[in-house]
């Protein structure tokens, strides 16, 4: 029998957007590792009638139902009562759960539990109890008419560890191999272009499978395989990954890497080289992305935010006549910014950015997003120009920073720094 699951997240605060539903994401990932498919996720507010409808729908299309939330002590925490009624089960008070609750209150110097607190220890008859080592509300699991129900508390600090400790062993009997994945990270080709190139391959695949995803200013392709072990899955995925990398070429910047900046730092360390930055429109974003990574000081010496013309002139040594004649957003200025950063900070290479982040175009009428990036290296200076684009200020800044990191990545790996040229 093939098992599939539905996750029902209970909480009006999720529907209103007051909190992010990380439980569904985390549980889906862990279910995938068990080899159990999650076909549906739903969110329902703290309303018993709507929860009944959600459970009724889930019963018609899943044989494992997992709920999160609605197990607390307040009047609107009605998940257990509603599911017990939906499956024709009575509630009983679990003495051990009540005792653990009293212990929790005592250890945390809280007033003695009241009746509404004790109601958290009321559980469906015949269930497997998931005692809560991280809070007061226990979870549970039971089977009814071939459907397996798991109830977990909503707070992620309770939900995730309880799932790992209790639900994983409970569900392991239904596991049919696990799903393992590798991500092929791409910069310089969008999700739709990647999908167009690989569409026929993706359609023909069943196991492994491939799926493209978009991220800010880049994309990645997830290759997944279902197998009895990681080793078996890797053997299935290796030729697929090699084939995709060959097809996509030098837009691939890494497999299972965290980010472009992480890739750049690893390459710099590998080659024992140092980097500095000079940023105008990105306002230090490149430096931030690099220094967000622990240990970046081994390769990144520092950055200069030369936002004003005066800073470009006085700190980086940009010729004021070039700013007057060509404007601050020009190949002449961006070149000198990179040269200045490399000279001032004494790095092996330096990257600089100057552009129009918006929301308005510059005095010459060039559009928002128009940007120049320069990379100063022992082998010469490389300059990339980004045309204008319709996007908000943050997207434009992120795109400029990512393009700068891509230029460094290409240089350090011996690839064409500006492949369009």
Average pLDDT over residues 291-301: 97
Which tens digits make up the pLDDT trace of 236-265? 999 999 999 999 999 999 999 989 999 999
CATH superfamily of 4-174: MoaB/Mog-like domain (3.40.980.10)
Question: Is pLDDT at 306 greater than 90 in this prediction?
Answer: yes
* Phi/psi-derived region of residue 381, left when phi > 0, alpha when psi is between -120 and 50, beta in every other case: beta
Question: What is the pLDDT, as a whole number, of residue 107?
Answer: 86
Question: What is the pLDDT, as a whole number, of residue 421?
Answer: 53
Question: Is pLDDT at 77 greater than 80 in this prediction?
Answer: no
Question: What is the pLDDT, as a whole number, of residue 361?
Answer: 66
- The domain ranges of the chain are 4-174, 178-255, 260-412
DSSP reduced 3-state for 398? helix
Detail the DSSP E strand segments found in 145-200: 147-152, 178-186
Question: What is the pLDDT, as a whole number, of residue 388?
Answer: 82
**pTM greater than the 0.95 cutoff:** no
Q: Which CATH class is domain 260-412?
A: alpha beta
Q: Which CATH class is domain 178-255?
A: alpha beta
Q: How many CB atoms lie within 10 A of CB 231?
A: 9
Which tens digits make up the pLDDT trace of 356-383? 987 766 666 778 889 999 999 999 999 9
Residues 6+ apart with CB under 8 A from 127: 89, 140, 141, 142
- Element of type H or E holding 129: strand 128-130
Of 190, 103, 181, whose CA–CA distance to 138 is shortest? 103
Question: What is the pLDDT, as a whole number, of residue 420?
Answer: 67
Question: CA 385, CA 355: separation in Å to the nearest integer?
Answer: 9
Average pLDDT over residues 329-342: 98
């Amino acid at each position: 029998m093939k098992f599939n699951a539905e996750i029902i997240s209970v909480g009006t605060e999720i529907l209103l957007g007051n909190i992010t539903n990380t439980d569904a994401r985390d549980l889906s990932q862990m279910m995938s590792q068990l080899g159990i498919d999650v076909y549906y996720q739903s969110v329902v507010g703290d309303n018993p009638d709507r929860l009944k409808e959600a459970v009724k729908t889930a019963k018609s299309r899943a044989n494992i139902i997992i709920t999160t939330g609605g197990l607390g002590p307040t009047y609107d925490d009605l998940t257990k009562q509603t599911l017990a009624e939906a499956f024709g089960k009575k509630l009983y008070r679990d003495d051990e759960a009540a005792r653990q609750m009293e212990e929790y209150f005592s250890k945390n110097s809280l007033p003695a539990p009241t009746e509404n607190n004790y109601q958290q220890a009321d559980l469906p008859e015949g269930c497997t109890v998931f005692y809560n080592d991280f809070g007061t509300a226990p979870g549970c699991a039971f089977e009814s008419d071939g459907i397996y129900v798991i109830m977990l508390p909503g707070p992620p600090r309770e939900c995730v560890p309880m799932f790992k400790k209790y639900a994983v062993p409970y569900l392991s009997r239904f596991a049919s191999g696990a799903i393992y994945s590798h991500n092929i990270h791409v910069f310089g080709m969008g999700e739709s272009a990647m999908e167009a190139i690989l569409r026929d391959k993706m359609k023909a695949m069943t196991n492994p499978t491939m799926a493209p995803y978009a991220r800010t200013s880049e994309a990645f392709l997830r290759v997944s395989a279902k197998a009895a072990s990681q080793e078996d899955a890797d053997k299935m995925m290796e030729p697929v990954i090699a084939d995709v990398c060959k097809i996509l070429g030098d837009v691939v910047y890494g497999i299972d890497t965290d980010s472009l900046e992480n890739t750049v730092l690893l390459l710099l360390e590998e080659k024992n080289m140092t980097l500095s930055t000079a940023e105008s429109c990105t306002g230090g974003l490149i430096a931030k992305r690099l220094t967000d990574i622990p240990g970046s000081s081994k390769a990144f010496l520092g950055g200069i935010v030369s936002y004003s013309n005066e800073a470009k002139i006085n700190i980086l040594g940009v010729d004021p006549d070039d700013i007057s004649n060509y404007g601050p957003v020009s190949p002449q200025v961006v070149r000198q910014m990179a040269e200045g950063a490399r000279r001032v900070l004494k790095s092996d290479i330096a990257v600089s950015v100057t552009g129009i982040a918006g929301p308005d175009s510059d005095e010459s009428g060039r559009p928002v997003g128009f940007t120049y990036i320069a990379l100063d290296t022992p082998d010469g200076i490389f300059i990339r120009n980004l045309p204008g684009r319709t996007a908000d200020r943050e997207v434009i800044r992120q795109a400029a920073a990512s393009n700068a990191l891509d230029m460094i990545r290409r240089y350090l790996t011996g690839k064409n720094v500006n492949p369009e040229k």
